[in-house]
């Protein structure tokens, strides 16, 4: 397969599509496990579609541009897991093609071929959650746009142009999808400082381009009177890493161990090749800085799920492609590639539909679990209080309190006067029919707000309250 993709033929545009479908289609008959974060993305789109204003009436740290995408999907298709996964496949396919375009157009290797796209598609199949339409997946598209523009500046013989503004612009837009990717502005600055002759004005242009989308987003929320909510929701939790089981860590690092080793070998191999010119060597170095920056972004990510490693994929794909291209002979590269291909397919399937035993069972804490709730409660407007929001899979979200990390500042502090006012107002604006209290905060809230307590009655199920009619 590797040998075939080393031919520079436009037919491989369709070959990549067939490869993506070959890897992903077997899952379509049975949906992939739904994740808690995925359910939150769907609820964000649904609530915005229902007329609730992002961050003011929907408390979530999902980026504003990602929220807009989820809203557009909900408007067109509703809460459809299949549509989310199908669009994610299209985004992955586009990224693989665009990454190939960058490598060929910018002549990052000694030959033009479609091997970078082949490796990119494989790496995007390391874990089933990488097939989800996550903010980090959407954000990586704009990181690739920035990469193309930055490499183009290094290619120019007449010096850096004012197009560096576009590099910053794409990075700013990427951060509005996934907050941790804002650290890539340091990647662009370091690349411009060390590997180009950009002057101070051009550095300022790049920073200005980065700040423009953030400024416009802030201005939008300011005009609608929710700037404080935007800052609180968007930045809260960015420096926190949630706790997961050891099994989650094992699965995440099992998935990236082989690609990481191959990337290291690829880097060492490429640095030994003397036929690369100065421009191509600088490209290799800025990809190395990309990998270092991705580590920082990973540290700032809200969890350690394999999907967070998507920002590493261009870095891995660049050096792994170099590793295979510079192996001598035909048999050895094909053999090693076949092993890599089978390993990735095995890892992905073991996480969803195991060939052997129970599989990896990774991301167990992040998967939405079936809940047994009374039939009369299904389809109702709910308020689920706690980290686990599985019950929303059977109903709609009520009030602004969607994300627990953001909501607990109010719900856990009913002694605070401002929190009491917020809780009362939010319940009046969008009253839930069912309250599922997993943190035992409702008794104290009802004690502080008798007017709310009179509207609800406790059910026979512990922690569940139902609105009186």
Q: How far is CA 343 from CA 139, 213, 318, 337, in A?
A: 27, 40, 19, 10
Sign of CA dihedral 400, 406, 412, 418: negative
pLDDT of residue 375: 85
Which among 446, 138, 124 is positioned nearest to 317, based on CA atoms? 124
Contact of 381 with 398, CB cutoff 8 Å:
yes
Tell me what pLDDT residue 361 has.
67
Q: Which distant-in-sequence residues (6+ apart) come within 8 Å of 166 by Cβ?
A: 145, 146, 149, 209
E strands, 101-239, where? none
Domains in the chain: boundaries: 2-352, 375-467
Which helix H or strand E contains 232, and what residues bound it?
Answer: helix 227-235
Which pLDDT belongs to residue 237? 57
Radius of gyration of the chain (CA): 24
* Rounded Cα distance, 100 and 13, in Å: 10
Helices 135-155, 81-105: crossing angle, 10 deg rounding? 10
- Whole-number pLDDT of residue 358: 63
pTM for this model (two decimals): 0.94
- Distance, in Å, from the CA atom of 14 to the CA atom of 19, rounded to the nearest integer, reads 9
Q: And the tokens for 401?
A: 């309190």
The contacts of residue 451 (CB under 8 Å, 6+ apart) are 424
Listed residue (282, 255, 61) closest to 191, CA to CA: 282
Tokens describing residue 188: 């662009």
Token pair, residue 114, equals 């479609």
Rounded to a whole number of angstroms, the distance between the first and last alpha carbons of the chain is 65
- Crossing angle of the two packed helices 135-155 and 278-300, in degrees rounded to 10: 160
Looking at residue 161, what is its pLDDT? 80
DSSP string, 98-140: HHHHHHHHTT-SSS--SHHHHHHHHHTTSSGGGGS--HHHHHH
Give backbone dihedrals phi and psi of 86, rounded to 5 degrees, phi first.
Answer: -65, -45
- The dihedral built from the CA positions of residue 110, 112, 113 and 119, taken in this order, carries a sign that is positive
Do residues 300 and 275 touch, judged by C-beta distance below 8 A?
no
| 305-335 pLDDT tens trace | 888 899 999 999 999 999 999 888 888 989 9
Buried b (16+ CB within 10 A) or exposed e, 195-228: bbebeeebbebbbebbeebeeebbeebeeeebbe
Q: CA-to-CA distance for 379 and 448, rounded, in angstroms?
A: 29
Residuewise pLDDT in 10s, the chain (469 residues): 788 888 888 888 998 988 888 887 666 666 788 999 999 999 999 999 999 999 999 999 999 999 999 999 999 999 999 899 999 999 999 999 999 999 999 999 988 999 999 999 999 988 888 989 999 999 999 999 999 999 988 877 666 788 899 999 999 999 999 999 999 999 999 999 998 888 899 899 999 999 999 999 999 999 999 999 998 888 765 655 455 455 556 666 767 788 889 999 999 998 888 888 888 999 999 999 999 999 999 888 877 788 889 999 999 999 999 999 988 888 898 999 999 998 888 888 777 776 676 666 677 788 899 888 888 888 899 999 998 999 999 999 999 999 998 999 999 998 899 999 999 999 999 999 999 999 999 999 999 999 999 999 999 889 999 998 7
CA distance 79 to 42: 6
Per-residue pLDDT at 140: 97
């Amino acid at each position: 397969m590797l040998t075939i993709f080393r031919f520079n033929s436009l037919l491989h545009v369709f070959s990549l599509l067939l490869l993506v479908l070959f890897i992903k289609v077997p899952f379509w008959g049975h949906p992939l496990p739904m994740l808690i974060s995925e359910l939150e993305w769907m609820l964000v789109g649904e609530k915005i579609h229902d007329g609730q204003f992002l961050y003011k009436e929907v408390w979530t740290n999902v980026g504003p541009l990602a929220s807009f995408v989820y809203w557009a999907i909900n408007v067109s298709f509703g809460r459809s897991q299949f549509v989310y996964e199908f669009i994610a496949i299209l985004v992955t396919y586009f990224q693989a093609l665009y990454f190939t375009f960058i490598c060929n157009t910018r002549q990052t290797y000694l030959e033009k071929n479609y091997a970078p796209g082949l490796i990119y598609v494989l790496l995007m199949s390391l874990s089933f959650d990488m097939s989800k339409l996550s903010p980090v997946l959407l954000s990586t598209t704009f990181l690739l746009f920035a990469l193309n523009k930055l490499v183009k500046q290094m290619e120019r013989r007449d010096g850096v142009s004012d197009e560096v503004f576009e590099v910053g612009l794409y990075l700013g837009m990427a951060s509005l999808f996934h907050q941790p990717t804002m650290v890539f502005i340091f990647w662009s600055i370091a690349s411009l400082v060390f590997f180009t002759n950009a002057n101070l004005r051009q550095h300022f242009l790049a920073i200005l381009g980065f700040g423009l989308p953030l400024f416009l987003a802030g201005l939008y929320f300011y005009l609608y009177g929710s700037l404080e909510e935007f800052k609180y929701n968007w930045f809260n939790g960015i420096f926190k890493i949630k706790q997961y089981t050891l099994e989650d860590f094992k699965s995440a690092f099992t998935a990236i161990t082989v690609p990481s080793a191959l990337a290291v070998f690829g880097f060492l191999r490429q640095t030994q090749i003397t036929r690369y010119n100065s421009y191509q060597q600088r490209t290799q170095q800025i990809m190395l800085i990309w990998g270092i920056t991705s580590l920082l972004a990973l540290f700032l990510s809200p969890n350690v799920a394999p999907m967070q490693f998507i920002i590493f994929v261009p870095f891995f794909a660049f050096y792994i492609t170099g590793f295979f291209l510079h192996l001598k002979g035909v048999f050895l590269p094909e053999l090693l590639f076949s092993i890599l291909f089978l390993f990735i397919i095995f890892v992905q399937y073991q996480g969803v539909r195991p060939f052997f035993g129970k599989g990896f069972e990774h991301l167990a804490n992040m998967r939405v679990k079936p809940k047994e709730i009374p039939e009369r409660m299904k389809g109702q407007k709910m308020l689920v209080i706690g980290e686990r929001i599985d019950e929303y899979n059977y109903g709609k979200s009520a009030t602004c309190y969607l994300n627990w990390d953001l909501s607990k500042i109010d719900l856990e502090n009913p002694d605070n006067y401002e929190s009491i006012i917020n809780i009362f107002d939010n319940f009046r604006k969008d009253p839930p029919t069912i309250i599922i209290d997993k943190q035992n905060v409702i008794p104290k809230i009802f004690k502080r707000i008798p007017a709310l307590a009179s509207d609800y009655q406790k059910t026979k199920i512990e922690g569940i309250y139902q609105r009186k009619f």
